[in-house]
Amino acid sequence: MSDPAVSEVEPVLSSVRRAGTPRHLILLLAAAAAVVVALVGTQMLAADADLQQRIKAKGYRRSGIVEAAVVRGAAEEPLVVPAAVTGFTPQARFGYRSGDGWEPAIAADRLGHVYGFYAQYLGVPGCEDCFSPTGVLQISDNRGETWGSPRPIYRAGADAGQWDPQIVVDPVDGRTVYAAWLQNGKSDIAVAKSTDFGRTWTVTIANGVNKGTDKPILAVRGRHVYVAYNHATQMYVASSHDRGATWSEVKINHNAKLGWALAGGGTVDTAGRVYFSWAGYEQNGVAKGPVNLFISKSADRGASWTHKVLDVSGAPPDCSADSCGWAYLGAQVTMTSDADGTLYALWNSGTVENGPERTWFSRSPNAGQTWTAKKGVSSAPARAHHAFPAITARGSGDVRISWMDTRAKADNSLWNTYYRSSIDGGASWSGQKDISSPTGGAAYIKAAGFEFPFADYYELDIDDEGTTQVVMGEGLNYDTPGAIWYTRGR
């Protein structure tokens, strides 16, 4: 996911691909980025000079910069995960040990395979032609006990950039894997399918929009495949009814008067109805205005859509001290469904403009017609910030949720990842577990927590034996290299 306006700048910056760029060229590139930002000339950029500097830095660092030391580095050894001590395994570094891991996704099939997928910045070891970022896949065939070596998911597309990874397993057959990402300067929505446990992939372009897009959300059931994404104020859904071979697209928020839209989650229920959750910012830029959290529904295979506002949040907390843009810690909503067709939503929102946000849960037993009153799931003190909700479900009422918050220190300077589960559809919950654990080798991980959430989202899924599989990002701040971390447990 990108900050608003960055999606306009990145396609230009991302055209530069090289290893070991000299300093004078770096300065020229930064100047070129400033020109691009000026040409874009959005109201948001004109209104906030400080934001301009953060956007230029982010667009420059995150896309197109390949470090020779990373490319020439040794190939990674397979990952072996330590045994669980208190319900969850100690977190282990996931993916390449060099470079910059971002936006992790995870999916588990019904045959013991677990798939981790993330964006690798600053280069891929052994791949001189791989752009920054490149989508990297890592697979376990024993429910996460050991993992094969990471590798680019689609080498043929790795020279054009691959952002915002998503990966899911078809719940009908329990084995076909679908992945999605943005590529070609974020102008194309790529969807890939594998029927051989991730060894090979068939890739199609769901829609080539020739403009900056953001955060594809993938939802699958049988032959029906859907991918939602946003472009500025608009939300789109591309639909395929032949397992990803051909696609059609509709804009789903025709009448919305928004400053920005950000996709969040999606699911297809057992009756074939498809849902996506997303955030609609009423004003664009500088963290102003309320945030409407929507659930959008289609009962006709994606042809038409209805919308429900689940909650309204105040403007996002400021996080400029951590080098991130105005919406990074803002309200997000994600969702899932179980085998009974019950819908579940998890989100962060707040009532005070720019103040701390909480994590909330709700469910709908009637295809989204009504939702239960929102229920807080965190016992953190009121001053703690909450962000990045993650949710998954299976069976009848088996729901797992996770989020990040800053309860560990009174000054909100450290974050941890928390987890709860329910076997009765969210009527009651297990105790809260901190599933992020102190580990060596990363200066940003302290005894009481990690410095900052690294990536716009993280994910969890449930494997065939009922174990929760989790990938999450941790770092020093938004604009410094961080890493993906893995854990599993119950």
Question: Domains in the chain: how many in total?
Answer: 1
Residue 52 forms part of a structural domain? no
Cβ–Cβ < 8 Å for 346, 389: yes
51 domain residue, yes or no: no
CATH number at residue 254: 2.120.10.10
- Amino acid 432 reads Q
Q: Which domain holds residue 482?
A: 70-489
Strand spans (E) along 211-290: 214-221, 224-231, 234-240, 248-251, 260-268, 274-281
Looking at the DSSP bridge assignments, the partners of residue 76 are: none
Residue 314 CA to residue 150 CA, distance in Å, equals 40
Q: Would residue 8 count as lying in a domain?
A: no
- Does residue 484 fall inside a structural domain? yes
Task: List the structure tokens of 422.
Answer: 């329910």
Q: What stretch of H or E contains 359? A: strand 358-364
Placement of tokens 């770096």 in the chain: 26
pLDDT tens string 176-201: 999 999 998 888 999 999 999 999 99
Question: pTM for the full model?
Answer: 0.86
Give residue-wise pLDDT tens across range 252-299. 987 767 778 889 999 999 999 999 999 998 877 655 679 999 999 999
Question: Across all residues in the chain, what is the average pLDDT?
Answer: 85
How far CA 89 is from CA of 46, 131, 165, 436, 468, in Å, comes to 47, 33, 24, 9, 11
- Residue 60 falls inside a structural domain: no
Q: Please check whether residue 2 lies inside any domain of the structure.
A: no
Q: Which amino acid is at 337?
A: S
pLDDT of 489 over the 90 cut: yes
Does residue 277 belong to any structural domain of this protein?
Answer: yes
Q: Six-digit token pair at 452?
A: 């900052």
Phi and psi dihedrals of 32, rounded to 5?
A: -60, -40
Q: Which residues pair with 330 in a beta bridge?
A: none
**pLDDT 10s digits, 222-231:** 999 999 998 8
Q: Report the percentage of the chain scoring pLDDT > 70.
A: 81
> Would residue 243 count as lying in a domain?
yes
